[in-house]
Structure 1
Amino acid sequence: MRIIMGTSTNPPARGRPRVRSRVRPRLRLLLTVLGAALIPVIAMTVTGGAAGAAVPATPSGWSLVWSDDFNGAAGSPPSSANWITDTGHAYPGGPGNWGTGEIQNYTASPSNLSLDGAGNLRITPIKSASGEWTSGRVETQRSDFKPAAGRILRIEGRIQMPNVTGDSALGYWPAFWALGAPYRGNYWNWPSTGEFDIMENVNGINAVWGVLHCGVNPGGPCNETTGLGANRPCPGSTCQAAMHTYRFEWDRAASPNQLRWYVDGQQFHSVAQNQVDATTWTNMTGHAGYFILLNVAMGGAFPNALGGSTPTAATVSGRPMVVDYVAVWQSGSGTPTPTPTPTTSNPPGGGVDARSTIQAEAYQAQSGTQLETTTDSGGGQNVSHIANGDWLRFDGVNFGGSAATQFKARVASGAGGGVSGLIQVRLDSLTATPIGDFALGDTGGWQSWRTVPANIAGVTGTHTVYITFTSGQPADFANLNWLTFST
């Protein structure tokens, strides 16, 4: 739920007609996408099922820091011991329209913000007869959510987004997020104090966005006002049709430290400490911690970027975001084992064997791409929506002592119209000179796969491998399923 000082405008959206349910902003325009990998669902993750379930049991090796399962009488407000209810169109003395251009008036009315008597909090936007929109927004009393050194903090909520789609949903902007403690009472130091958007959604699209905001605005290491973000569809049932579990992890056990985003236990975004400068990282992590927010905005920069001016006359009133629980856990003492990222194989000396089939979706970080189900042999997923300037990063690729001299990739393209680009291999830095590349044009469709070889300068040892994509056109030009290296 980005806070935009001064302006509230975001650029237009990027999307491919072939995946209409996965419309997303173009990397340099609305979201800079970094770091995603699918990981196993762990025991504490709950998806689907009935609303009003209890906070999950604390797993072994973790401790519960704080939680609210929203038990209480129907129509009652959320616990004042846990939550502050925000009202109006701004913080006192802060940027108007909450810094985002959203139009609703937040109230404490039970019609906008109340427990439902079945173990849920409901935040409901309502349009009055005069045309005014009202809604609800709460933030935790506590603003000290932060992992101890060497531990992992996990912020999790089980939420059903407002059950509305299409034109009826234009302008809906539900969010589950966290702001750095120094923002409270200042309201003009964003984004330097940090913002973690654990779950954002707009316009009833079946997708969850996870975003980091940091540094300075505009621009800076987090590409403000857009932030460093990624999105994906909700697993199984749509985000609007069912409860899903949204989780954020701040890992001070990993070196470098990491921030990770999950939906139903599947990681779809990460940002590492070394992806921003030391001052920026310290400014957003060196303070007392974060407070957590839940709200449903109407209109504003993000929904407008994807749907034009919102809400519209077609937007329906009264569809709530339903929150089953919010909980915060911290890993135990010592050096916890982070949630693993899948790798393809483990050669002698560690890392990923360069000569194995390295699945494209097993990257450790990425920028600008998405994942989709592939029809290629073996099934699974491929990396999609690849355009100029996008990249994938694979850590610890072990080439061994015998030089690899060839690169092969399984690729497809439905770009058409003369759109083409280069698929390049770089070692240890995004700005390193490519050691090899090949050109890719239309292969006959986004799932029309072929294996393309390219010669590379001989490589030995273990390296961070960047696969970068360069094109003279702005359109998407490639899908990538796997890659490998050989002698």
Structure 2
Amino acid sequence: MSATSGMPRPRPLRRALVAVAATLGLAAAAATAATVPADASAPAPPSGWTQVFADDFDGPAGSGVDTADWQYDTGTSYPGGAANWGTGEVETMTSGTGNVSLDGNGNLLITPRRDASGNWTSGRIETRRTDFQPPAGGKLRVQARIQMPNVTGGAAKGYWPAFWMLGAPFRGNYWNWPGVGELDIMENVQGLNTDWATLHCGTSPGGPCNETSGIGGNTTCTGSTCQAGFHTYAMEWDRSTGTEEIRFYLDGVNFHTVRANQVDATTWANATNHGYFIIFDVAMGGGFPAAFGGGPDGGTEPGHPMTVDYVQVLQTSGGGTTPPPSGNRDAYSAIQAESYDSQSGTGTETTTDTGGGQDIGYLANGDWALYKGVNFGSTAARQFYARVASGAANGVSGLVEVRLDSRGNAPVGSFAVGDTGGWQSWRTVPANVGAITGTHDVYLTFTSGQPADFVNVNWFDFGH
């Protein structure tokens, strides 16, 4: 949330502009949202994990949240903090049940409303606890099952729902952002079918974390849109690896990862050597919506709530099973073609290429292979390399294509290949790709004007 005022939660204006220009169409091939009831309790912790906080939002319809666990943010700023919550948003936050309430079916509703004079109100709550962080050598997972406000198009102009966290030193200071850190687990604007996740840190503007944009990534909801159904949004902060990292998930699929070595040690320590608290809110207007058309305006429909089924915090002291594991591939190291997560039309065979092992073969028009969780980091990849061989007949050739997050997305790069001298006559072929950052599911797709097999693939990787 980077605010131009240097306050919390200025949702990345600059990042949003970049997204408009370059990445709005990117979609992580996230697992379909679970077809479970709207009121589902927080799941039991996986083996090796311990639940340290949860709220299923059970209670009578029309009642407020449990103030033993939550506190309301009211007005248009923190006491002594920047106006309009530092983001330019236009609503007044209240503790009234018209804006923040339980629905009687195990859900929290945060509902923006507009009065007869055109003034907006909404709700913003945060945990009283500020100690959420992983133990040394362990992991912290913060997740919530949410349906975004079910409104799209012009009626959604200005809507800005979010599920996020701020570093504990912010509470009571309100002017030390972004150095104390901010973790945006889910942000959305304008009713778009897009989930943004971001780490804010360092100094603003600019600095090691590219403020006011932060270090962000985005994906889309699949199965149902973010607005039409419930999806699970999660952050996993991992101190069990050699390099500390923070991973963001949508429906169990890791679509964005930030590692400690992406910034200097002091910046990382200032952002992470303390606890965090959790925030839910629905803002109206501000810098992030402004980057996608602005609002709210006369066509914006009030009364559409963000619905939160549960929120849960888990931790492990080390050795726990990450729920659920997926991907964790390095884009800049060789990805063995036979290590696919799923495929259609391919076969594996022993290769005589250097290093041995297997390749995937029998590849023809319409075949594909999926490799989940490929991490490109924050420095854009611009090259794709694949180790290929072909014994295709004269006149038979095709394209090896790279697509991100969905086979339906346009290729970000491709190269043509025909006969290389035999099905085990290997060569490394380069191709340019559009600038890729963050973590994505990578599809290799194979397209040809002929029905015959035209290529084998041993491995592939990416370069800057």
Query: Structure 2-normalised TM-score?
Result: 0.73
Number of matched pairs:
386
Inter-partner Cα distance in structure 1 for 2:206 and 2:115: 38
- 1:382-421 alignment runs, 5 A limit: 390-391=380-381, 410-411=400-401
- Taking only aligned residues, the RMSD between alpha carbons, in angstroms, comes to 4.0
**Cross-structure match for 1:326:** 311
* Residue of structure 2 aligned with 1:202, choices 184, 189, 192: 189
User: Cα distance, 1:38 vs. partner?
Assistant: 6.7
Inter-partner Cα distance in structure 1 for 2:30 and 2:152: 29
* Residue of structure 2 aligned with 1:291, choices 245, 253, 277: 277
* Residue of structure 2 aligned with 1:182, choices 125, 148, 169: 169
CA contact (8 A) 2:30 2:250 kept: no
CA contact (8 A) 2:3 2:287 kept: no
| Farther-moved stretch of structure 1 (146-155 vs 53-62) | 53-62
User: Cα distance, 1:334 vs. partner?
Assistant: 3.9
Q: Residue 135 and residue 157 in structure 1: after superposition, are their counterparts in 2 closer, same or farther (change >3 A)?
A: same
1:455-475 alpha-carbon deviations (Å, 9 max, x no partner): xxxxxxxxxxx998589xxxx
CA contact (8 A) 2:414 2:431 kept: no
* Residue of structure 1 aligned with 2:287, choices 289, 301, 320: 301
Inter-partner Cα distance in structure 2 for 1:354 and 1:206: 30
Inter-partner Cα distance in structure 1 for 2:230 and 2:222: 11
* Aligned amino acid, residue 301 of structure 2: V
Q: Any idea what SS the aligned residue of 2:34 has? A: coil
Inter-partner Cα distance in structure 2 for 1:382 and 1:69: 31
- 1:413-452 alignment runs, 5 A limit: 446=410, 450-452=414-416
1:306-339 alpha-carbon deviations (Å, 9 max, x no partner): 11x31111100100000111110002x3434556
1:433-477 alpha-carbon deviations (Å, 9 max, x no partner): xxxxxxxxxxxx945985357xxxxxxxxxxxx998589xxxxxx
CA contact (8 A) 1:161 1:240 kept: yes
Q: Residue 390 and residue 450 in structure 1: after superposition, are their counterparts in 2 closer, same or farther (change >3 A)?
A: closer
Query: Structure 1-normalised TM-score?
Result: 0.70
1:336-387 alpha-carbon deviations (Å, 9 max, x no partner): 4556443789xxxxx96566478799xxxxxxxxxxxxx952165899xx9x
Q: Residue 343 and residue 211 in structure 1: after superposition, are their counterparts in 2 closer, same or farther (change >3 A)?
A: closer
Identity of aligned residues (%): 48
Q: Any idea what SS the aligned residue of 2:218 has? A: strand
- 1:43-58 alignment runs, 5 A limit: 47-58=34-45
CA contact (8 A) 2:74 2:94 kept: yes
Q: Residue 285 and residue 344 in structure 1: after superposition, are their counterparts in 2 closer, same or farther (change >3 A)?
A: closer
Q: Residue 329 and residue 2 in structure 1: after superposition, are their counterparts in 2 closer, same or farther (change >3 A)?
A: same
**Cross-structure match for 2:216:** 229
Bigger Rg, structure 1 or 2:
2
**Cross-structure match for 2:354:** none
Q: Residue 216 and residue 452 in structure 1: after superposition, are their counterparts in 2 closer, same or farther (change >3 A)?
A: farther
Gaps of 5+ in 1: 16-23, 346-350, 362-374, 399-407, 414-444, 454-465, 472-478
CA contact (8 A) 2:28 2:219 kept: no
Inter-partner Cα distance in structure 2 for 1:451 and 1:306: 34
- 1:48-197 alignment runs, 5 A limit: 48-197=35-184
